Amino acid sequence: MELSFNREAMTDALQRIVGAAEKRLTMPILGNVRVRPGETGGMRLETTDLELAWSARTEGTIPAECDTTVSVRKLLDVVKAAPADSDIRAEVDGERMSVGFGGSRFSLATLPGEDFPDWEAGAIGATVVVPQNRLRRLLEATMFSMAQQDVRYYLQGLLLVATGHTLRAVATDGHRLALSEIELDSPVEGRIERIVPRKAVAELRRNLSDDDQAVQIGFAEDQIVFELGPAVLRSKVIEGRFPDYERVIPTDLPATLVVEREVLKQALTRVGIVASDKYRGVRMILGPEGCQVLTHNADREEAQETVEASYDGPEMEIGFNLGYLLDVLNVIETDSVRIGLRDGNSSILVQAEPPGGSRYVVMPMRL
């Protein structure tokens, strides 16, 4: 069986879907891409790790009876090695796929396509459509707050909430919380909530473009589907009850600190040179003169920065994890930030100045 395809088209398709292939190879076929004819012509490529799955359409000629799998990473490396804009020919014969261009030939092992795990598609109950750049910004504004290795498995994902004209993303690891929302062009009936796993969030973010091309989000009972033109990402959702995040967001904060974002970011970065590698703690002293940032470590090394800022409230001292504050400052895009405080033992609320569609809660730290 002979196949042919263009280098650029195949490279783009494989790069989109390679992230779903299983790296630990608990089942060898999970490291492969399934190659078979598309429903409307061309070629259909599929990868999965059983938790999420990519499918992509690409141009090419393929026999109707062809259904095989081959290592997605090896095939991608071979295709990328071909000369620019070249046409590549492949031949499937038994348990081998021969790929060639110019004077180069590669023989790759294959496994039958019928052995590739089928992804059972759930019934889509509701859909929303958003521009890719808007969804990308929503993910970037929140995904850093997802838990990484927490026994509370529902924290190892991103909560998506669609209601009315709003799509909201929420992430928390129990020490900080990030919430951001964007406007939908068409309203959603009722309220839809799904917790999207960390890997699916990362895969989606990696494949979103920075333009206004549409992405359609489909909500099934136990799955979520993202359609990005010729590529479709399906993911299981995390079952469980996400924390009541609205109760965590502090309100009626009597003290307010307004500071230039880059100035505070650079100050935190500098004091971080001597901050404890384990705790990464810093103290902020707030008063009429503005803000001081201090830290020390077990070797009794110290660092201190005076930050010019506008502070309205009582004198206060509060400690934080340095990395948590920097993560927030890295995603806020305005020149200034507004920090609302209650006292030295309560969580703070960080927002852009002027406030926009994102809010960030950071718990204090005892130092």
Nearest to 335 by CA among 353, 356, 348, 350: 353
Task: Give residue 144's pLDDT.
Answer: 97
- How many other C-beta atoms can be found within 10 angstroms of the C-beta atom of residue 351? 18
CA distance 173 to 340: 21
Token pair 């999207």 is found at 196
CA 269 → CA 67, 137, 294, 330, distances in Å? 53, 24, 12, 12
Mean pLDDT throughout 75-84? Answer: 96
User: Out of 69-73, 80-84, 150-154, 161-165, which region has the weakest mean confidence (pLDDT)?
Assistant: 150-154
Helix, strand, coil shares of the chain, percent, nearest 5, are 20, 45, 30
Q: What is the pLDDT of residues 126-167, one digit of tens each?
A: 999 999 999 999 999 999 999 998 888 899 999 999 999 999
Cis, peptide link before residue 28, omega less than 30° from 0: no
pTM: 0.92
Domains and CATH numbers, the chain: 2-115 (3.10.150.10), 126-247 (3.10.150.10), 249-362 (3.10.150.10)
Cβ atoms of residues 44 and 38 within 8 Å? yes
Tell me: pLDDT of 121 over 80. no
Task: Note the pLDDT tens digit of each residue in 234-284.
Answer: 999 999 899 999 999 999 999 999 999 999 999 999 999 998 877 789 999
131 within 8 A of 217, measured Cβ to Cβ = no
The one-letter code for the residue type at 340 is G
Confidence of residue 119 (pLDDT cuts 50, 70, 90): confident
- Amino acid sitting at position 183: E
| Distance set, CA 58 to CA 63, 96, 187 (Å) | 15, 22, 33
At residue 280, the pLDDT reads: 87
Q: Do 17 and 55 form a contact (C-beta atoms < 8 A)?
A: yes
